[in-house]
Amino acid sequence: MPEGSAPVQDLPFPEVLGVGAEWDVAVCDIVRAGQRLDRHGWVPATAGNLSHRLRDGRIAITRSGCHKGFLTGDEVIAVDAGGAVVQGEGRPSAETLLHTQIYAKFPEAAAVLHGHSVASTVLSLALREDALVFSGFELLKVFEGQHTHDTTLRLPLVDNDQDIARLCTVVEPLLPAMSMGYVIRGHGVYVWGNSMDVALARLEGLEFLLACKLEQRRIPA
């Protein structure tokens, strides 16, 4: 965090907020999330992208090329459902279409987070399976619909592709069955939630589980 800056505080999000106030809250949520991910080391350099959907359909999303740990308000711009800029200056994240795809598929989604952790990068490159499987972990309960550790969840692994439109066609048929999010090999994770706090909790839970999987691989058979 730049010297002299204070952490962005959680803000209320009442239904009576106007369009301008709602935008300000969305920007604050994105800045706060960026700081939190940066503290964990999940958005190194200019990696990662964060977004928040507004009630009018606009999507507040981080601008391309900015460090997520030191975000300022003008580094958050708005795009429409097709990814075109409708507010602010600069290019949106190169992976904006992956965000808009999630919002289109899940009407309840209000926030999408994408990070580049060591665990997600290493595991996704080391494994050739099409998914990571998690069973017996207490923290599986952080994901929607899960009420016990005694369950099994799959985290899809998809191959990286710099052609984002083509990558979207690979992800699209997998989305309906996704309960944890997904990982792009050698790249990072995507998670979402019906609020920024829910998305953050799911990302932290998923990163904990990925770190556990990585540690398990270090234990001699």
- The binding site for Zn(2+) comprises 114, 116
Q: How far apart are CA 146 and CA 154, in angstroms?
A: 13
Q: How far apart are CA 127 and CA 124, in angstroms?
A: 6
State the Cα torsion 87-82-102-1 to the nearest 10°: -30
- Summarize the annotated binding site as residue ranges: 114, 116
Name residue 166's amino acid: R
Q: How far apart are CA 10 and CA 46, in angstroms?
A: 24
Tokens encoding 41: 């080391």
